[in-house]
Chains A and B, each alone.
Chain A
Amino acid sequence: MADAHPAGLAHHFESFEQQREASFFGMWVFLITEIMFFGGLFAAYVVYRSAHEEAFVLGSSLLDIRWGAFNTVVLIGSSLTMALSVWAARTSKRKLLVVFLLLTVLLGSIFLGVKAIEYSHKFHEHLVPGPSFAMDHFPADEAPYVQMFFNLYFMMTGLHALHMVIGIGLLLSLVVMAARGAFTPENHNLVEGVGLYWHFVDIVWIFLFPLLYLLGRSA
């Protein structure tokens, strides 16, 4: 029986449609777990922010809003190129697919580069949590909570960056496969799956940016 299966259809599926639905559905379920994963951090952030509002505003004023805004634009752009990649795969435009995927990789790397610049600034300013944290830059009774802000800042953006790195790895392997012509209009589930993942990572940033850089700042 298994021999009767067309190429690209795994042995345990009855049809391409079933295979496609399964992989889609699986991707969504996976993204739900990701939401819960980041959710724990967001919960901690909300709890502590409401307890130490001033310190958090102080902390957030030390982030460079220009870099943050620039990165937001970069990521939105990368979501666009990702969506275009999926479209190219669906309409079997192999060259365009490779181009759009590479563009997405490029934008993702720019984001990470900017993040690296920001991190290194924080290192120089001793704003990285730990023994060398610049406690004496702040009023003594706010300093611990400013540090808490940076605890959360590094955890949240760090985990987000880690997701970006994984995403870029996935994109690069897609590039290789696409160049070999591995995707057909019936079977490009991988592109769509990675696309969903990429959009998800962008959306996380869309939440992180206002939460970390903007909130309470105008005051």
Chain B
Amino acid sequence: MNLWPKRFPLFPETASRLAQDVDQLYFFALLVTAVFSLLIAALIFYFIIRFRRRSEDEVGQPERAGLWLEITWSVIPLVILLFMFGWGSKVFFDIRKPPRGAIEYYVTGKQWMWKFQHPEGPREINELHVPLGQDIKLIMTSEDVIHSFYVPALRAKMDVLPGRYTTFWFNAEKAGAYRLFCAEYCGAEHSYMRGSIIVMEPDDYEEWLATRGQTTAAAKTGADLFSAQTCDTCHRSDSAAQAPILHGLFGKEEQLADGSLVLVDENYLRESILNPAAKVVAGYNALMPTYQGRLSEEDLVGLILYIKSLGGPDSADASASNQATTQASSDREE
């Protein structure tokens, strides 16, 4: 695939509808910029010619009262700005807020590569294959410093931080390979922390998945970890005596010991595993040991995927089938 064609573009390619929204907003802002810059330039040129100094001791005319002028040229920009602010915020929320039912992929950034985890199991480095026309949500974290996930063709980016999850979503409408950059400076090879998002027709994608051969779904790996790390000695599916049952947990509002409610999302699960005492579930003691330092970022992702595969508050079937992973999590979004 000719990923880095030799040419001289002046405008980036566009891979999604939201990218076009950004472009429209940009064109409007560009228009405002051009109009005001040209207006100022034109006025300056006119004035310096029309009012050029004609004799050595000539002085300017005294100022004429100008309050209404001051008000006009404060209010007009203000109105334009408020309009652009509203529009920009709308586009921003569209880009930041993943829709319900997006397929979830996991991304780990580290100096200096991108690691991807498909819900179906395959792992990739620096290349992410995704199906066309699907809502795709990336749940991202970093193993070391801050990186930033940037796909110009989607006109969007999001920082990737150590110690927490951030999300990025898109729905690509055109098949093709799109550049992925790391946009947050992260050390020596920052400029080589590049990759590509390869958007494929759904059939091609299935085919591609098949060529990846026998893989175990991420949730399945997580299930193995769940017993390997002896989580299942306390968290059992039949008894909540020792520790909360994790079935049907993801996406619900959990009642904490201090009376507050929290939404169970990836960041909550992460915290519950790494720092259990921070938020103790009502009715339990803070017995759970911390797993800080005992799990890699990938292990964590596996565990979280597994817990998510155990269903959410409104999924009737809370059994942990691999297929249910995507299905169940889609029902729960937001």
Contacts and interface: CB of A to CB of B under 8 A. Distances in A.
Whether A and B touch directly in their complex, counting CB atoms under 8 A apart, is answered as: yes
B156 interface: no
Interface string A105-149: 000000000000000000000000000000000011110100000
A52 B292 CA distance: 16
Contacts, number: 17
Interface in B256-288: 274-278, 286
Greatest chain B CB density within 10 A among A54, A140, A141, A144 is at A141
Nearest to B280: A54
A56 to B, nearest CB: 12
Contacts of B276: 141
A80 B22 CA distance: 64
A140 B278 contact: no
B33 interface: no
B319 interface: no
Interface in A41-87: 52, 54
Interface in A139-194: 139-142, 144
**Interface size band for A:** under 10
B177 to A, nearest CB: 41
Contacts of B278: 52, 141
A142 B289 CA distance: 11
B290 interface: yes
Contacts of A139: 277, 286
B252 to A, nearest CB: 23
Interface of A: 52, 54, 139-142, 144
Nearest to A51: B278
A156 to B, nearest CB: 23
Contacts of A54: 277
A144 B275 CA distance: 10
Contacts of B275: 141
A141 to B, nearest CB: 4
17 contacts: A52-B278, A54-B277, A139-B277, A139-B286, A140-B289, A140-B290, A140-B292, A141-B274, A141-B275, A141-B276, A141-B277, A141-B278, A141-B289, A141-B290, A141-B292, A142-B277, A144-B292
A54 B286 CA distance: 12
A140 B278 CA distance: 12
Contacts of A144: 292
A54 B279 CA distance: 11
Given A52-B278, A141-B290, A144-B292, 5 more contacts: A139-B286, A140-B290, A140-B292, A141-B274, A141-B292
Nearest to A141: B290
A52 B276 CA distance: 12
Greatest chain B CB density within 10 A among A52, A140, A144 is at A140
Contacts of B289: 140-141
Interface in B230-274: 274
A144 B278 CA distance: 12
B162 to A, nearest CB: 14
A142 B279 CA distance: 12
B267 to A, nearest CB: 13
A128 to B, nearest CB: 21
A139 B286 CA distance: 10
A203 to B, nearest CB: 33
4 A-B pairs with least C-beta separation: A141-B290, A140-B290, A141-B277, A141-B275
A141 B277 CA distance: 7
